[in-house]
Amino acid sequence: MTRDTDYAVRALCFIARSKEKIITAADLVAALKIPRPFLRKLLQKLNKEGILASYKGAGGGFLLDEPPHTITVLRLISIFQGNFELSECLFKKRSCPGQDTCVLRGKIKLIEGRVSSELKKISIASLIH
Amino acid sequence: MTRDTDYAVRALCFIARSKEKIITAADLVAALKIPRPFLRKLLQKLNKEGILASYKGAGGGFLLDEPPHTITVLRLISIFQGNFELSECLFKKRSCPGQDTCVLRGKIKLIEGRVSSELKKISIASLIH
DNA sequence: GACAAATGATACAGATATGGTATCATTAAG
DNA sequence: CTTAATGATACCATATCTGTATCATTTGTC
């Protein structure tokens, strides 16, 4: 997990806890000590993904735009780090040399699938309870 | 998995198959089309780890120095990519802000443990059969 | 309407890791 | 002695990660 994802989890947990109340970037900086410009970028991304609603101008800020149980860690990872993959085939176009690599890749994909489904079970809701 | 690890798996499978026969870097380059200097660096590392025995000079090359079933993918990953971790705590020294992160980290560690034990089951022996 | 408080958009920068290259030293067989 | 091999190292290009800086836009309040 990268810092993006980690910060996002913490920010979302904080926002989810303060139900209804609008939260500003400044609030989050104060509470979580995340570098401000970094946090802002990340909040904007969450907004574009439809996870947060944003309100501009004085009195503005952010609110959850989805129920906390639909926001999973798997999803956050895929937002900030691209699709979750433990291993990627190096031979997209070219022919893959021998079967060993593919045997390995097959086993890894299996593990990957299990991990994905575990990460999908971890939601913001499950973290704040 | 990085390219290092991937190449290492393929190289070791190749070497494991040609039992007894000494294998040179040139053989591997020809068979697996891995960039030569990159491969050499990686073979040296496997040698230092005791996985390969090396012989210098004309007629030299590499041999397995361990039975294929003790060479696991988990071990190769830890050699080339450091200890296997899905997520790392960002707050080594400083106090961790709130419990959410630790709750999350706990769940991730659990998944991590399962993945590790799966990766430990995949050995060079299991790949060449 | 002016001002202040907030987000939106974007460009830039430093550090680190990854993937790969180049070079020279060392060893051993013939 | 020459040639074929590995050992050791230093270097480089690129991408990603983490973070900074700046300006534009919107909105509430006086």
Say whether A98 and B6 touch across the interface (CB within 8 A): no
* SS3 letters across chain B: CCHHHHHHHHHHHHHHHCCCCCECHHHHHHHHCCCHHHHHHHHHHHHHCCCEEEECCCCCEEEECCCHHHCEHHHHHHHHHCCCCCCCCCCCCCCCCCCHHHHHHHHHHHHHHHHHHHHHHCEHHHHHC
Distance (Å) from the alpha carbon of A10 to chain B's nearest alpha carbon: 7
3-state SS class at A27 = helix
Query: What average pLDDT does the segment A92-103 reach?
Result: 73
Query: What average pLDDT does the segment A3-10 reach?
Result: 95
Tokens standing for residue A101: 């690599």
Which of B4, B5, B6 has the highest number of chain A CBs within 10 A, making it the mutation to test binding with A? B6
Let me know: does B9 contact B81? Beta carbons within 8 Å.
Answer: no
Mean pLDDT of chain A: 92
Quick one: pLDDT at residue A92? Answer: 65
Q: How confident is the model at residue A102 (pLDDT cuts 50, 70, 90)?
A: confident
Percent of chain B with pLDDT over 70: 96
Interface subset of A 30-89, CB within 8 angstroms of B: 31-33, 73, 86-88
Quick one: pLDDT at residue B88? Answer: 87
Measured distance CA(B111)–CA(B13) in Å, rounded: 28
Say whether B6 and A101 touch across the interface (CB within 8 A): yes
Query: What average pLDDT does the segment A17-25 reach?
Result: 91
Q: CA A106, C1' D15: Å apart?
A: 27
Percent of chain A with pLDDT over 70: 95
Nearest to A104 among B9, B88, B107 (CB): B9
Does the pLDDT of residue A91 top 90, yes or no? no
Does the pLDDT of residue A94 top 90, yes or no? no
More confident residue, A61 or A93: A61
Percent of chain A with pLDDT over 90: 81
E strands within chain A? 52-55, 61-64
Query: What average pLDDT does the segment B72-89 reach?
Result: 93
